[in-house]
Structure 1
Amino acid sequence: MNAYVKAARLLAHKQAGCTRNRKATPSKVITFQEIAARAKAGEPMAEISATCAGGLTRSDPVRSTKSASDLLLLSVSKQGCTLLSDARLLDGGNSIVHQGLFIRGRWRERKNGITEIETEPEFHAHAQKILDGTNLEPSTIQGLSLCVAGPWSDNYFHWLMQYLPILKIASQWQPLSTIDHFLVRGPVKDFQREALARFGIPAHKVIGINKNQVYIIEDLLLTSIPCDNFTYEPWVIRMLRELTESGSRKGRPTSLFFDRRAPAPRRIVNMAEISDLLENYGIQSIDCSTISFQEQINLASSSSLLIGVHGASLANSVFSAPGTVLIELLPRNYRPRYFSELASACQLQHLKLSGVEPGPLPLQQPIYNADIIVPTRRLKMMLENLATDRAR
């Protein structure tokens, strides 16, 4: 245990309201940045807990997140890291409670140029229902644990861009080999276990967090979450690209189509027709759910053309070399910026092609989950133009 952990643990246990295994009902919120700043200054948080009474509601005011300059700064980025004693982890890592306060400020989204959407109060309101309604005794996890869980952390895209980089942040404070547990939203998926193994983390240290269970973490190493949904940190891209394996690319395809199989939404209705077209242009179809994490990296890093319906598998484009072409197939009237912004950050060429629905959507089905008919002629024209450009 290094000096940072010793000092943080000593401070945490001196703070009021820190009796181990006591059931805590969260009151309002405190930002992650406030916790990190107080830990850095050695200030107790008891007075904050004492002044925040009552449960969290959607109408409660939520204090604004402080600027990045108020975070504990690390060499990799303007990110924060702190250690909490006896923190409660709820709802699969979506919410974390410390001394009766929900922690806010780890999760960030962008919409219409505004950095934050108020989604965390929704997470916290749901977590409080779990806390108030469960009759299960909290499960205690002893030792030092790193939280690699949070909103959508079991999704491949979010895991790559926002949660796997947590290891880099945490390693600036604590050698990963000295951390007892790595907390991941359960059930742990193969790509998560394989990705953690690339950083030397053995499977027995990975704990899957149940969404309906309340966990008391003896010592929780907690970081901010890098990369909001439409902004990608350069250091994160560099870190992920370091996972590519050097060596011969002989025998690997140079053009890939990421296939989506049932029960995933946004399936291609006219897939037989599209498959014939792709085969004519020598484009290999792969199903990412059937291959390993490392194989996904290897295939994406060796390809100069990637095609797929909007979905998490397109996150593999982060491993592609600058200049790679990414064609994103989309439902009609759906224009997300996840991959256009990622392509820009990775210096890829990004093209969009919208399809149409096979019929009227069910009343409650959002457009972004609609199955699509891909316009074959337009896709063929795109591929022809790309072939012509390459021939020049």
Structure 2
Amino acid sequence: MRFGTHLSARKIRRKLDASGPLDTGRAGVELLSRKLVFTPLFATLFERGYPPSIPRHRLLDESETFRPEPIDSSATDAAFDEDRFVTLVPGGRILAGSGAIFTGEGELVVESLSPSADRSAYTTIPLIDHLFRDGPRFVTDIFTGDVHSLRPADDSTGLLCPLIPRYRNYYHWTIETLPKLRLLDAFGDETGREPTLLVPADPPAWMRDSLRLLGGEDFPIRHAREPVYDADPTVVPSFAGTVTGAEHRWFKRQTSGLRGDADTDRSRRIYVSRAGARERRVHNDDAVLDALDDYGFEPYRLEELPVAEQVRLFAEAEAVVGPHGAGLSNIVYSDDVAVVELFGSNVKTNFARIAEAAGFEYHRLEGRQDGPDIEVDVSRLRETVEQIVD
């Protein structure tokens, strides 16, 4: 466990500056209890079969299932369609805080929170969140399968689909949640039935704007103001652990009105700055900026830009450099971009997989971990950038 990253003095100071001592203290106690107590406890419960669950193979065998028509006849799209689907769960219950779905018999529909092969790792944190949000009795009922003890909203809607990210984060919303809209479109075209989207009660601007840009407002929308919703049936799109080539084309097609001449004029070079973030800042940012300036890169703090501007920016980019973080999710709007992702010691493959699916040139540059931040080897950065720009 990387306590140097989670509890470094530098990160604590940033939290104090942003939230004050009281909220910082509460957050620290919660973080430690999550990491030291509840994560291992919940993992043990999962290993012992709690909560009872219905995995993908049973879901497909026992539920009414619809698959999207291929975009074209390519092998890539055929594989995509084999892995993407919409199922209907009769008498389902939706937990509004996480989007988790339970059957009427109290079984967790794994597909609502996790790829089929990674149940424990993906479901632990969202269900721990329910402990802090909804209380121990709520979570006890979940783990024992006693969903009938939960109190659903009285005015629940049939054919309801949760569009709620597991974590309230730009990455999980963009990469795991928004692609479900394509499946729901295909479901509506095939069946003539229109699901209602259950979205967070108080979505931030970036969530509202991206939902509109990707076609979410074409569906009826309800805001989740109660902890639990009944739906008969509940609509369950397959979980998207990453973006496929077909979904990348869908992102570009859905935002075509914003792209202008981006498909022919891709000349921008972007540095995604995390200077305002609490962690994974570049410690030697000034040196990195000086080096990238020599190659025509412009720095951007994406949290300061509306989603539409982020879409246009990445659509016009020929090269993107940035530390690992949610802002790189915007490569789904790019076309034939070269990506250089910066890491400390904690290397992840999220954006490498997206780049591979989209056919992008991708480079991983590992630096030195510096507490919650990273220090970039500027000479290696120059060497890498020279490979991707003229």
Shared fold per TM-score greater than 0.5? yes
- Compared with structure 1, are the counterparts of its residues 287 and 131 closer, same or farther at alpha carbon in structure 2 (3 Å cutoff)? same
Asked if the contact 2:153/2:228 (under 8 Å) is kept, the reply is yes
Amino acid at match of 1:118: S
For 1:373, the equivalent position in structure 2 comes to 375
Query: Which whole-Å deviations, capped at 9, do the CAs of 1:277-320 have from their partners, x for residues lacking one?
Result: 23332211111111122221211111111010001111222222
CA distance in 2: counterparts of 1:199 and 1:121, whole angstroms:
26
Amino acid at match of 1:284: E
- Compared with structure 1, are the counterparts of its residues 311 and 88 closer, same or farther at alpha carbon in structure 2 (3 Å cutoff)? same
Report which of the two has the higher share of helix: 2
Asked if the contact 1:141/1:217 (under 8 Å) is kept, the reply is no
- Which residue among 272, 276, 283 is the counterpart of 1:269? 283
Asked if the contact 1:146/1:222 (under 8 Å) is kept, the reply is yes
CA distance in 2: counterparts of 1:172 and 1:84, whole angstroms:
18
For 2:260, the equivalent position in structure 1 comes to 247
Q: How many Å apart are 1:131 and its aligned residue?
A: 7.3
- Which residue among 6, 10, 28 is the counterpart of 2:52? 28
Query: Which whole-Å deviations, capped at 9, do the CAs of 1:125-169 have from their partners, x for residues lacking one?
Result: 6488547625995334533422212423x3222322221111111
3-state DSSP of counterpart to 1:93: coil
- Which residue among 337, 360, 363 is the counterpart of 1:351? 363
For 2:166, the equivalent position in structure 1 comes to 151
For 2:347, the equivalent position in structure 1 comes to 335
3-state DSSP of counterpart to 2:320: strand
- Compared with structure 1, are the counterparts of its residues 33 and 257 closer, same or farther at alpha carbon in structure 2 (3 Å cutoff)? same
CA distance in 2: counterparts of 1:172 and 1:279, whole angstroms:
45
CA distance in 2: counterparts of 1:132 and 1:267, whole angstroms:
36
Query: Which whole-Å deviations, capped at 9, do the CAs of 1:164-186 have from their partners, x for residues lacking one?
Result: 11111112222699747422345
**What does 1:3-22 align with in structure 2 at a 5 Å threshold?**
none
For 2:43, the equivalent position in structure 1 comes to none
For 1:22, the equivalent position in structure 2 comes to none
Asked if the contact 1:90/1:127 (under 8 Å) is kept, the reply is no
**What does 1:275-314 align with in structure 2 at a 5 Å threshold?**
275-314=289-328
Rg (Cα) greater in structure = 1
TM-score (norm 1): 0.68
Coordinate RMSD, CA, aligned: 3.4
For 1:56, the equivalent position in structure 2 comes to none
**Higher RCO, Cα 8 Å, sep 6+:** 2
Query: Which whole-Å deviations, capped at 9, do the CAs of 1:76-97 have from their partners, x for residues lacking one?
Result: 5132323345422226234211
- Compared with structure 1, are the counterparts of its residues 235 and 350 closer, same or farther at alpha carbon in structure 2 (3 Å cutoff)? same
Q: Give percent identity, aligned residues only.
A: 20
3-state DSSP of counterpart to 1:92: coil
User: What runs of 5+ residues in structure 1 fail to find an aligned partner?
Assistant: 1-25, 41-70, 362-369
Amino acid at match of 1:374: V
Q: Does 1:223 align with 2:247?
A: no
For 1:317, the equivalent position in structure 2 comes to 331
Asked if the contact 1:36/1:81 (under 8 Å) is kept, the reply is no
Q: How many Å apart are 1:201 and its aligned residue?
A: 3.9
Query: Which whole-Å deviations, capped at 9, do the CAs of 1:85-123 have from their partners, x for residues lacking one?
Result: 54222262342112122212344459xxxx435335636
- Compared with structure 1, are the counterparts of its residues 35 and 347 closer, same or farther at alpha carbon in structure 2 (3 Å cutoff)? closer
